[in-house]
Structure 1
Amino acid sequence: MTVATDTPLVDTHFHLYTRDMPITSWAWHHPPEDASAEQFLALMDQHGVGYGVVAAASLYGQYNDYVIRCCRKYPRLRGTAFVRPDTDMYTLERMKADGIVGIRLFFRRVPDPPDLNSPEYKLLLRRVRDLDWHVHTLVSSPALPEVIRAVEEAGVKLVIDHFGKPDERLGVDCPGFKALLAAVERGRTWVKLSAGFRMPSREAARSYAQALLRVSGGERLMWGSDWPFAAFESGVTYGQTIADLHDWVPDAATRRLITADTPMRLYFGA
């Protein structure tokens, strides 16, 4: 494995939780141990990572309390949250003041996926736009074009996890991935190079990254570790996720764009 000679400044995708938090009845995974802010900050320091963006964990649904308190306590952190579509402006503004930078919409493995064409979600998307937040999502590939369309029509920034999770059978040729590439070119969508260990193979992850780099030149791409590697806890290390990034993006200047310049601007206003 290639040893990293430089390290990301910002990890834009990881989860924080404790096992005593209320978990949803439809949770697809039950974590074997805590993934606390203090554990992750120590890991960041060990690897020289400066800042982090917490991805709201679908396992805990609307229980954003722990993530919000962590972002409030540690200025190095920002986060996203699951919110109900009728959440009022004052609540959202308070969340922004505490370090929340966007909402997470989850369409996979949930009993009632969001309907972005409903009046309730159109209202929520307008409030997200007013706050200068973004929508952070992971969508099965066939549904991705419609989600992109709805978010773009609302004038909201969109951040898509895990290479857009292309259809394993079609890879870079699947319609969802092609829609993602087109959205990146239009300039309101960002994609995370993250969770390569969840892809069908190392070669598949590399091919997705290469396609995204061809379209973007590194602009509108970011990196995330996906710590604590839910369902892969014993098979992945943080160092491996950094080494994967070096495999996907061999050029140091492009890595700097992906792991520092773009996420600092999008999440930290720097």
Structure 2
Amino acid sequence: MQADDPGTAPRAARFRVPPLACDAHCHVFGPAERFPYAPGRRYTPEDRPKEVLAALHRRLGLGRAVIVQASCHGTDNRAMLDALRSAPTRTRGVAMIDDATTEAALRDMQDAGVRGIRFNFIAALGGAPDMGVFHRAADRARKLGWHMVMQLQGDGVTRMAPVIRALGMPVVIDHMGRVDPALGVEGPAFRDLLDLLRDPRIWVKLSGAERMTQAPFTDALPFARALLQAAPERVLWGTDFPHPNLATPVEEQVLLDLVADFAPAEADRQLLLVDNPATLYGFPRKTLPEGEPR
């Protein structure tokens, strides 16, 4: 049984997950027979449809999710949108768009719960996009009140910092900028990431520890702690389930447990897991009625 299979025997959590905690970075893949993968994709994942993701969130006690379009589906957002429509009060989405995306499609995404668009700048996943397409997409998203999500790696943070500052819209940096942990928190790319967080429009996800280092992922903790300290009200957390292109399987409960290490204070965990995603994604601020499942 794979580590990302929600049927894996549950491991006891290290802390009490607050009600309405959000997995702010996760994906759905397929099923391919219904939602085919993009012809020009760089990888072909195993199907992990919405039902598998929902089962994982029930096991972890997570009440909300932001489903992020992955590059294997390209700009065909149907699988992600289908997942949003199946749980409209508990999910939001981040789409991938290009010049061929129609205004009608954008309105449909808005109605379904999409609140941002994503672009990848990592060479192994296809490299930087056409910057004309990027800026035109940003203009369209900005008009809808959406934000930009950018997947960068290491010194890509430094190269793209001027562009990020000039976008004039909220920007979310995925996976702690995927900086090299060997360089430490004084590494130039990480210092540039911290500097970006001086801008109140810029957010960062304290996810991707499994991409920075090996289990038990403690090498990632100083980076997550520094980012949370720099911008406690603009940090998010996510599983990155089902971990596309990850060589070694990982158990999501282990990743969730890391939150107790880089956010030991309950107030910080409330911001990270509940309040911050509610602010950025427009989830209602309410308490679950007694007895209602997460």
Normalised by the size of structure 1, how large is the TM-score?
Answer: 0.89
Partner of 2:16: 6
Seen in structure 2, the aligned counterparts of structure 1 residues 229 and 124 have a Cα distance that, compared at 3 Å, is: closer
Task: Check if 1:143 corresponds to 2:143.
Answer: no
Contact map agreement 2:148 2:169 (CA 8 A) in 1: yes
Q: CA contact under 8 A between 1:87 and 1:124: conserved in structure 2?
A: no
- Provide the residue aligned with 1:90 in structure 2: 104
Structure 2 residues not aligned, in runs of 5+ = 1-10, 285-294
Note closer, same or farther for the CA distance 1:241–1:45 as it changes in structure 2 (3 Å cut): same
- Length, aligned pairs only: 266
Match of 2:64 among 34, 44, 51: 51
Q: Does the aligned pair in 2 maintain the 1:13–1:224 contact within 8 Å?
A: yes
Structure 1 residue 26, shift from structure 2 partner: 5.5
Residue type of the alignment partner of 2:121: F
1:27 offset after TM fit, Å?
A: 3.9
- What is the RMSD of the two structures over their aligned residues, measured on CA atoms? 2.3
Aligned to 1:113: 128
2:23–2:65 CA contact under 8 A, matched in 1: yes
**1:170/1:59 CA distance change after superposition, 3 Å:** same
Q: 1:25 deviation in Å? A: 5.2
The answer to whether the 8 Å contact 2:69/2:80 transfers is yes
The correspondence of residues 1-270 of structure 1 with structure 2, limited to 5 A, is 3-7=13-17, 9-20=21-32, 21-24=35-38, 27-31=41-45, 33-75=46-88, 76-85=90-99, 87-108=101-122, 109-111=124-126, 113-116=128-131, 118=132, 120-201=133-214, 202-216=217-231, 218-232=232-246, 235-270=249-284
8 A Cα contact 1:13 1:55, kept in partner: yes
2: CA distance, partners of 1:249 / 1:239: 16
Change beyond 3 A, Cα 1:49–1:88? same
Distance 1:249 1:71, change over 3 A: same
SS class of match (1:236): coil
Distance in 1, matches of 2:139 and 2:245, equals 35
Relative distance call for 1:269 and 1:19 in structure 2 (3 A) is closer
1:8-49: CA deviations, max 9, x gaps?
510001110125243345544432x32111121122122221
1:159 counterpart SS class: strand
Sequence identity, in percent?
31
Deviates most, 123-132 or 140-149: 140-149
Task: Give structure 1 stretches of 5+ with no counterpart.
Answer: none
Q: Which amino acid aligns with 1:192?
A: K
